[in-house]
Amino acid sequence: MISITSDPIDISSALTLLQSDQAGAVDFFLGLVRDNTQQRPVDHLEYEAYDRMAISEMQKIVDQAHERWTILECVVVHRKGLLRVGEIAVLIGVSTPHRADAFDACRYIIDTIKQTVPIWKKEVFTDGESWVNAHP
Amino acid sequence: MNFPISVLLFGITRDLTGQSSLSLPLAEGAQVSDLLQVLTDQFPDLGRIRSLMVAVNGEYAEPNQVLSVTDEVALIPPVSGG
């Protein structure tokens, strides 16, 4: 299940989607909004997505993970809109028969999302703002 | 003969242009690289971005892809999800 949502991300409903009698492992990666990026206090983050393409790019990544590892179920949820420090921005969940595949697939999915999926975040500091990665 | 192409703008490109989409006249047979040229001529600030990709109908496009009036075109500044 792949989605983009404006609502808070619910870990327990993701866990339900990952359950399988064949699963010996479930891994989650949670990406959180962090304070004090670049030594500056963060007021909030604003996430924006090109929804249609973001979903299809995330689907490609999940398909690639299925080709490389034995995955039973996979959940990817990315938040958009205004997020405060401590909130979950992205959840990756993978269930597999054995734990090594769960760790590897989870890491691959989040690392690749950060490279190719058209989602952008603006850090709004108490003293200014900037789009992450946009400038040299 | 020119045709209009509408371009979706996100993130820093929306902030720099002040618009979430804009319509540009392109010549028949224009490619993605021509679109980028027209855009950076019109909005020189776009040249300050680390990289600028173009998506056509929801897929990353090569510079030599030819555009048509029915394409959904989007500018993709450096992504920062996660």
Residue B1 to chain A, least CA–CA distance (Å): 30
User: Could you tell me if A132 and A120 are in contact, meaning their C-beta atoms sit under 8 angstroms apart?
Assistant: yes
**A117 DSSP assignment:** S
* Percent of chain A whose pLDDT exceeds 90: 86
Q: CA of A11, closest CA in chain B: separation in Å?
A: 16
Instruction: Say whether B79 and A115 touch across the interface (CB within 8 A).
Output: yes
Averaged pLDDT for residues A79-95: 97
Q: Which residues of B21-44 are buried (b: 16+ CB within 10 A; e: fewer)?
A: ebebebeeebbbebbbebbeeebe
CATH (residue range A2-126):
3.90.1170.40
Chain centroid to CA A47: 12
Residue A68, both tokens: 């490389």
In this predicted complex, what is the ipTM?
0.94
- CA–CA separation, B5 and B44 (whole Å): 19
Which helix or strand (DSSP H or E) is residue B31 part of? none
User: Is the Cβ pair B80, A49 closer than 8 Å?
Assistant: no
Q: What is the pLDDT of residues A108-126, one digit of tens each?
A: 999 999 999 999 999 999 8
Cβ contact, residue pair A134, B82, below 8 Å: no
Rounded CA separation B54/B76 (Å): 6
* All domains of chain B in start order, with CATH: 2-76 (3.10.20.30)
Query: CA–CA separation, A77 vs A89, rounded Å?
Result: 8
Instruction: Inspect the interface and report whether the beta carbons of B79 and A117 lie closer than 8 Å.
Output: yes
Nearest Cα of chain B lies from the Cα of A30 at a distance, in angstroms, of 9
What is the three-class DSSP state of A53?
helix
Residue A38 has pLDDT above 80, yes or no: no
C-beta atoms of A119 and B80 within 8 A: yes
Q: Reply yes or no on whether the pLDDT at B3 is more than 90.
A: no
Interface test with A, best of B7, B14, B57, B79 (most A CBs within 10 A): B79
* Number of residues written out for chain A: 136
Residue among A31, A56, A118 whose CB faces B10 most closely: A118
Q: Where are the domains of chain A?
A: 2-126
**Residues of chain B neighbouring A116 (CB-CB closer than 8 A):** 60, 79
If you average pLDDT over residues A77-94, what whole number do you get?
Answer: 97
pLDDT digits (tens, 9 = 90+) for B13-61: 999 999 999 999 999 999 999 999 999 999 999 988 999 999 999 999 9
Amino acid at A105: A
What's the predicted TM-score (pTM) here?
0.94
Of A76, A129, A78, A93, the residue nearest A15 (C-alpha):
A93
